[in-house]
Amino acid sequence: MSKFHYILICILSALLITSCGREALDYNKEELIEAGEGQLSFRQFNVNVATQARNTRAVDMNNYTVTLYDATNKAINTWTYKDIPQVLNLTAGKYYISVISHEMKQLDTVPYYAGKSNEFEIKVGEITEIEPIICTLGVIEVKVSFEDKLVSYMNNPQSTTVEILLDKNVIYKYSGVTDCPPIYIAPDKGETTIITAIFNSTIDGSLETTTTTRDLVAGDSFQLDYSIKVVDTDGTIADLGTMSPTLRIISQGIIKYWPKNLDDIVEEVIPEGGDEDKLPYIEGDGFNIAKEQIIPDGGMICKVNINAPYGIAHLKVRIDSPTLTPAILSSVGLAAEFNLAYPGSLEEGLKGLKFPVGDEVIGATKLIFDISQFTGLIPPFDKGVEHSHKFILMLEDVNGNGVTKTLTLVSSRK
């Protein structure tokens, strides 16, 4: 075959294909008009996933679920992303498309992404192109990490726990400090979702508890970066060699917002509830609260500084004692557990022991919990036998951030 004949055959073939295509298109258009339908074209359709790294190549979207809905929210058709048709005939009307990565779970270990198109109209005899859809994070991400310096103070790092609570119920528990994968929580149906994290660890021989609460929405990344400051009894930052420093756990509850489109700047960090220096803390006035305090006969001066820069919401006290029984505590107007912010029927007894109550507590940024008068009541009940009496102080500020410290009093050893 000559080169001329070959070129002629190629040209004729191209013309034939074009002619057939046009005939098919015209024929389809006539059928569409007769059926009162139009066409939805997916030829230019694609899905992008807005991640914090802005790296869509790392996200496998082949098995994402693509659903076509009509204006009444009725599902018309569903495909996986990899199986979307190129063209679809539809009755004239208004529609929209939804894309999800998978079915949302209340708690998951993989992120859930979702996106939706704008409403579009299918017109009789016409072809409508569907625009690209951007999927964003549809759940709340929670991440936990621990500063190396904090880990060095832990007596047993693997016994450290961080409990994640939703509506006051524990839904996940991190154990140890090495394997802390992110988790993903489905948001509440309301405007915000309240998530609480409770840190527990034995630090330098003392049990430390820190509570952090945040109001979050879908797309938030709640990053709990736990660190420590060594604070001397006068409130100044102490060196490691300082005598009897007070150890203070700091939880940085930072929220990062996931992008809503691919052009968003995602590096911005927005702290919620103030910076780390404004979190509530409890410390002994002139002594290390983490150490046992020996009560001499006749009692002692014992004051605890309560600090909540944003204001106190609750100051609860729980008494754990082998000799201060409920009956004995009741005889002096106390109970084994009470809330100084809302003392109820115990208000008179607490005031008699010089404790601040009610309006003296609510909203206060600094408070002295003076247990001096109470210490004189302890030795007589111990009758010369050594006992440890624990006063567990639970402080919560108006932002929901909390801290727990234990004051341990021991009668004079005979």
Average pLDDT for 161-180 = 91
pTM for this entry? 0.65
Beta strands in 112-168 (DSSP E): 113-116, 120-122, 127-129, 133-137, 140-146, 161-166
Q: What confidence score (pLDDT) does residue 315 get?
A: 94
Q: Which of 15-19, 54-58, 318-322, 396-400 has maximum average pLDDT?
A: 318-322
Which residue reads 């809330």 in tokens?
A: 339
Answer whether 69's CB lies under 8 Å from 98's CB: yes
User: Using an 8 Å Cβ cutoff, are 253 and 222 in contact?
Assistant: yes
Which range, 36-45, 110-119, 229-238, 391-400, is most confident? 110-119
The tens digit of pLDDT for each residue in 5-52 reads 444 444 444 444 333 332 333 336 777 888 889 999 988 888 888 776
Count of CA atoms in the C-beta half-sphere (13 A) of 328: 13
